[in-house]
């Protein structure tokens, strides 16, 4: 059984090979916009490749979704893996802080605590937990691009919607370019527990992100029904 990392690598190699076939662009597909380099890209090669490949697949998937509607999905302006407090540029003047990841709409940046993502998610929980988290943050950028970010009445709606969008992406790549094995599902489940709220946090709490069950259901819904269903059924105003 291959892990998610190995399968991600295979798919990216395959995609690179495809895009390298011939010099003429025979189809009318728009060029995939380039991702920015990852700032403070530290850690073992396999970890760094997982992060890089995850963003490549996210960029490709969301561009494809946007192109179908005649739209574009510009990539994040910056990707920042911070390891020290000084490297944490934060968002709107506020530091992001440890054990956190975020999409900042002010500067269109995805940033994450490298110590946490590498040390906890990657080393203890596995590849798929990292992919889910980055897919969630990318999902916030998609919400921003769709213009729905400000329409969610409560934080938890936007958070579960981002889980759904991450699930839509994971479901699509799982069907088409990679195959999750048992360890990937375990990694996803463990990742869900790592980022979940405790039971009893009210739906209206401004910091609520959802329990593991709520977040797991949102991810599964996205994986089964796709991005459009995330917006239509888990969009602004939905309730649990
Ligand atoms: Zn979020």
Ligand 1 centre and the CA of 193: distance in Å?
A: 15
**What is the per-residue pLDDT across 67-86, written as a single tens digit (0 to 9) for each?**
988 888 999 999 999 999 99
Say what percent of the chain tops pLDDT 70: 87
Say what percent of the chain tops pLDDT 90: 80
In a domain, 8, yes or no: no
In a domain, 152, yes or no: yes
- Band of pLDDT at residue 175, cut at 50, 70 and 90: low
In a domain, 219, yes or no: yes
> In this model, does residue 1 exceed pLDDT 80?
no
In a domain, 145, yes or no: yes
**What is the per-residue pLDDT across 124-159, written as a single tens digit (0 to 9) for each?**
999 999 999 999 999 999 999 999 999 999 999 999
Ligand 1 centre and the CA of 111: distance in Å?
A: 12
In a domain, 14, yes or no: no
Ligand 1 centre and the CA of 162: distance in Å?
A: 6
Cα–Cα nearest to 8, from 186, 127, 161, 132: 127
For residues 49-54, give the mean pLDDT: 96
Using CA atoms, how far apart are residues 37 and 119, in angstroms rounded to an integer? 21
In order of 98, 125, 150, 163, the CA distances from 201 in angstroms are 21, 25, 22, 18
> In this model, does residue 91 exceed pLDDT 90?
yes
pLDDT of 28? 65
pLDDT of 71? 87
Ligand 1 centre and the CA of 163: distance in Å?
A: 8
Please give the residue range of the domain that contains residue 229: 35-233
> In this model, does residue 6 exceed pLDDT 80?
no
Ligand 1 centre and the CA of 28: distance in Å?
A: 34
Can you tell me which residue has the tokens 């509607």? 69
Regarding beta strands 109-113 and 78-82, do their DSSP bridges make them parallel or antiparallel, or are they unpaired? parallel
Ligand 1 centre and the CA of 140: distance in Å?
A: 7
In a domain, 51, yes or no: yes
> In this model, does residue 23 exceed pLDDT 80?
no
Ligand 1 centre and the CA of 152: distance in Å?
A: 13
For residues 106-129, give the mean pLDDT: 97
Ligand 1 ion: nearby residues, β-carbon < 5 Å: 159, 162
Ligand 1 centre and the CA of 178: distance in Å?
A: 25
Ligand 1 centre and the CA of 137: distance in Å?
A: 6
For residues 192-212, give the mean pLDDT: 94
Report pTM: 0.88
pLDDT of 4? 53
* Number of helical H runs and strand E runs in the chain: 8, 4
Regarding beta strands 109-113 and 38-39, do their DSSP bridges make them parallel or antiparallel, or are they unpaired? unpaired
Number of domains in the chain: 1
For residues 167-190, give the mean pLDDT: 89
- Band of pLDDT at residue 176, cut at 50, 70 and 90: confident
In a domain, 59, yes or no: yes
Ligand 1 centre and the CA of 97: distance in Å?
A: 14
Task: Give the three-state DSSP class for 110.
Answer: strand
pLDDT of 14? 43
Q: 11 or 179: whose pLDDT is higher?
A: 179
In a domain, 15, yes or no: no
């Amino acid at each position: 059984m291959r892990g998610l990392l190995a399968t991600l690598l295979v798919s990216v190699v395959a995609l690179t090979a495809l895009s390298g076939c011939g010099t003429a662009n025979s189809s009318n597909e728009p060029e995939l916009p380039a991702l920015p380099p990852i700032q403070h890209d530290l850690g073992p090669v396999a970890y760094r490749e997982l992060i890089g490949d995850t963003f490549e697949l996210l960029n490709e998937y969301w561009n494809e979704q946007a192109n179908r509607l005649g739209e574009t999905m510009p990539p994040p302006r910056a990707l920042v893996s911070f390891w020290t407090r000084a490297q944490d540029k934060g968002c709107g003047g506020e530091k992001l802080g440890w054990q956190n990841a975020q999409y900042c709409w002010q500067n269109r940046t995805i940033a994450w605590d490298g110590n946490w993502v590498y040390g906890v998610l990657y080393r203890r929980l596995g590849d798929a937990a990292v992919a889910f988290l980055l897919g969630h943050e990318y999902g916030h950028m998609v919400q921003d691009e769709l213009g729905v970010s400000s329409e969610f009445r409560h934080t938890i709606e936007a958070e579960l919607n981002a889980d759904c969008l991450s699930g839509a992406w994971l479901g699509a790549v799982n069907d088409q370019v990679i195959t999750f094995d048992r360890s990937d599902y375990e990694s996803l489940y463990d990742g869900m527990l790592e980022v979940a709220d405790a039971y009893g946090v009210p739906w209206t709490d401004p910091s609520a992100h959802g329990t593991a069950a709520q977040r797991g259901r949102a991810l599964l819904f996205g994986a089964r029904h796709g991005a459009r269903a995330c917006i239509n059924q888990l969009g602004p105003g939905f309730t649990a």
